[in-house]
Structure 1
């Protein structure tokens, strides 16, 4: 896996941005977002039974939609979940971080190279046609098409796919994706891969399409076909009826949904600015928010908690406010250690996030099954920081360039505090606030000393992200270590949970020791749901898994 990743690092970076930074741009800074009062076509305000007896629910989100075409999936949260309401993934994580079967009822491997996917025998399209292995293989083939040109799917890991992630133009099959029988398809990778990585990075993002309906389109047509805007054959609980990429997505129920007809008649996703979520929840125009697609500003937490009509649920701590250090620019580990000792992270967490989160060292939070709670975070110790700087011969003449997302007002404030705390020990740093797109551009150039971004490392499968970020020259940190490389490689060769935990512990301990990255804090974000909704609970993962059971109390 490492060999493949090294040859295709720029491609992997694109995928990492899509999969792991899903919530980063959703900081409540959506210029042009519709005000909370605007309505999608046919929408009525709030969870209610309309005048025609229809049950309608509005989900408030703070990020904009890219496309509803599963072949153009970029991995962004709203893109994935809005599309998966129509086309189910093979599997999905549930609220407890277990893999829940969706189109597939099982995925197994005996050698960490051949992954056997079995389609649920009950799975069918809305026109009554069974969902088959041919549908899955056809969708995978199109995702690997150079004509479709989806660079986010990372299909270069499979046999028969080039290192650019694509098959030959015009190919009618993929050597590493084979139909075994009507309900079974096998994926074969070039290098060893853990079952968890296959499930999390591939099964969750393959949204199967109906081959019998769309095979009439050429590959060129599939990239832009209007059919995807209002598909008439789906596998999921809702048909889309109308959408505006910046303002709303409207759905109607699929009465023939094979996992059970939805209790709701209509569902609307309303795209608003983060500062509008409180007002929407208060008025009832927004019924539910989710922790990563719906970023409620921390300054509004207390106001939302005070609302009588909603229940507040804080999510598991998964979003890491990471500060990546370009180790080539700050090569002395003692200076990087001093930067960590000089920050009072507990104070920042308590004062800016009202304690809704945690402080850790490394990449894993307590939400991960591989979290090692024996790793005690480095404490705030300015005297220790000064001693380390003295040992390093730090003269204080260098000014560190600290890039921060201007749309994340909470961390902009945190960065100001950190700069003052660094100054107190003799480290000069200058905060440079830029919008999210510019921040990602700067990350690509690596022309910075410190770069801060909210990063969600998948709790059950941090491997792809961590391997990239610690991947040596060319990565965001420029940091490479043989012990870390070996531990990460070994995570792909075992299915033993305890062994995997020890391997990730090795990585986090080295990160704590060498400080290529500082975890400022882990966010436990606020979610909220109108008390009139039943069966609907805000959750970081599995939010829409059983949306067919959502209902509105009479």
Structure 2
């Protein structure tokens, strides 16, 4: 696993005072041992942690509308328009005191708190909230996340401003994940005054969040310090964590050594380092293993090979391959079996009524009934080099039940166009690699249901869409019902074989950070780290 606070394509923008030189670099903190900086609770006041060091392999800028944005900053220095509780699937906001959908589910009306102030002293209004979304429609912005949001840009630009503290967003079609779009509050006046490509987005970003960047050294580190004038400090504060030091390392192993020495307090840990820690735990270093919200699936190429329309063949794959052995080989100590499209940690997960058991002899019998003797069923797949281990393990296990598998590998520039043009491939593997804090069925099943993507992935059964259409409903009850029905439908018909939850390990200094607080403020194993909220007294210190 790659250690990084991933700099994915993100949304919205931040604020700050204009033009000044970058600050003089400070010396990164160096300690040995456990180095607890926390002052315990005393009659005189709450605990205080001077600094938490976060290890990563890269940092970015703080313009969330552009490629290279530093995702850790979304919660650390910004307020977010929308949030989702991964435990319940419910949405809430840092800046809106109320959010209400219209009866047709297409217009979301949001009422802001009136006492939000940016670090330059400017009061945040509906113009700022509206700009935070609409700046993503600018030619210089990253378009991907905005297109996924289903925002009707033209309507929202014309009608979104209702009054000083009320804004409306219209979507092209009803979709609950509009409120899962990671948009942060931007100071419109400041952002427009400095321009989208200004160095002020690195060194002088104006923000409304709990911390602000006081030092930035490209390729080395940045420092986010507590804002005592944070607008919501009376409700959330005071700050327990006074400063976050986001430090860049050349690779995960070097960062992990500093975690062992007590010089790093939080990092994403590689599978190899996690396995090493499990065998020889280190005092003061703990691990939190979490889902990234997705599951690895074996995918049948219905549209490329008619053999899959015979349920007996699909069942032979489902029970004739030792999926647990495959998962243990691939993921080792990280392996968690999963029998559905979403992990067991998802609020949408339901367990199958009749779990399948590994039975290679019955699988051979099913293949024989379908007309395939040993070596007579031949499968072909062309896929990415990154899937080599997975494919070759499957190849060996399929051979044990008499299925002959041929595999060719390539890179994305050759494989994806080949698939898109309908190139032959009979099967493959899929997981939503970016992860999803929502842990929802829609995100984890679009590969099966959205035509126009990869043709061989798509389920060719009309009734599937009838069940699936409400998994994106804004009505929580309707969404839950459809999500569970679709999982059951896919499992009982064996339209995919889900077998491994995608998980990762978060290493942390247990002398500084309580496990339960960290758990509540990390959405997934690869992102969604709520450092800003975690640093406040209201986090549960």
User: TM-score over 0.5 for the alignment?
Assistant: yes
- Structure 1 residue 152: Cα displacement: 2.8
Give CA-to-partner distance per residue, 1:258-277, whole Å, 9 cap, x none: 33364323421435533445
Match of 1:107 in 2: 99
> Within the alignment, does 1:310 sit opposite 2:297 as a pair?
no
> What is the CA RMSD across the aligned residues, in angstroms?
3.8
Q: Is residue 132–residue 186 contact of structure 2 (8 Å, CA) maintained in 1?
A: yes
1:300 aligns with 2:274: yes
In structure 2, what is the equivalent of residue 483 of structure 1?
463
In 2, distance between residues paired with 1:159 and 1:487? 26
Return the match for 1:43 from 28, 37, 53: 28
Return the alpha-carbon distance in structure 2 between the equivalents of residues 68 and 428 of structure 1: 51
Q: Distance in 2 between matches of 1:368 and 1:414?
A: 25
Q: Which residue of 1 aligns with 2:146?
A: 153
Q: 1:519 aligns with which of 486, 490, 498?
A: 498
Q: Alpha carbons of 1:207 and 1:317: their partners in 2 closer, same or farther (altered >3 Å)?
A: closer
Q: Does 1:184 align with 2:166?
A: yes
Q: Is the 8 A contact 1:404 1:452 kept in 2?
A: no
Residue 362 of structure 1 contacts residue 519 of structure 1 at CA under 8 Å; is this kept in 2? yes
Name the SS of the counterpart of 1:332 in structure 2: helix
1:522 Cα deviation from its structure 2 partner: 0.7
2:157 alignment partner in structure 1: 174
Q: Give how far 1:242 is off.
A: 1.6
Query: TM (normalized to structure 1)?
Result: 0.75
| Aligned 8 A contact 2:150 2:178 in 1 | no
Which structure 2 residue ranges, 5 or more long, are not aligned?
Answer: 8-24, 39-47
Matched residue pairs, number? 483
Shift of 1:348: 3.5
How do residues 15-164 of structure 1 correspond to structure 2 at under 5 angstroms? 41-45=26-30, 55-61=50-56, 64-65=58-59, 67-72=61-66, 79-94=70-85, 96-97=87-88, 98-111=90-103, 112-148=105-141, 150-154=143-147, 157-161=150-154
Distance 1:361 1:49, change over 3 A: closer
TM-score normalised by the chain length of structure 2: 0.76
| CA distance in 1: counterparts of 2:491 and 2:448, whole angstroms | 14
1:509 aligns with 2:501: no
Instruction: Identify the residue that residue 15 of structure 1 maps to in structure 2.
Output: none
The question of whether the paired residues in 1 share the 8 Å contact of 2:382 and 2:410 is answered with no
1:412-431 matches, within 5 Å, as: 413-430=389-406
Stretch of structure 1 that moved more, 131-140 or 91-100: 91-100
Q: In structure 2, what is the Cα distance between the partners aligned to 1:530 and 1:374?
A: 38
Checking the alignment, whether the CA contact within 8 Å between 2:256 and 2:273 is kept in structure 1 is no
CA distance in 1, matches of 2:454, 2:328: 32
Query: What SS does structure 1 have at the residue aligned with 2:162?
Result: strand
* Contact preservation (8 Å) 2:149, 2:178: no
Taking a change above 3 Å as real, the CA distance of residues 391 and 193 of structure 1, as seen in their structure-2 partners, is same
Q: Distance in 2 between matches of 1:374 and 1:429?
A: 29
Pick one of 305, 314, 317 that aligns with 1:330.
305
- How far residue 212 of structure 1 moved from its aligned partner, in angstroms, is 2.1
In 2, Cα distance between equivalents of 1:27 and 1:125: 28
The answer to whether the aligner puts 1:288 opposite 2:263 as a matched pair is: no
* Residue ranges of structure 1 left out of the alignment (5+ in a row): 1-23, 31-39, 162-166, 168-172
Q: Check the 8 A contact 1:404/1:453 in 2, yes or no.
A: no
Match of residue 216, structure 2, among 242, 262, 265: 242
* Offset of residue 515 of structure 1: 4.4
Equivalent in the alignment of 1:384:
362
Q: Which has the larger radius of gyration?
A: 2
1:29-57 CA deviation, whole Å, 9 max, x = no partner? 99xxxxxxxxx85321366669xx99332
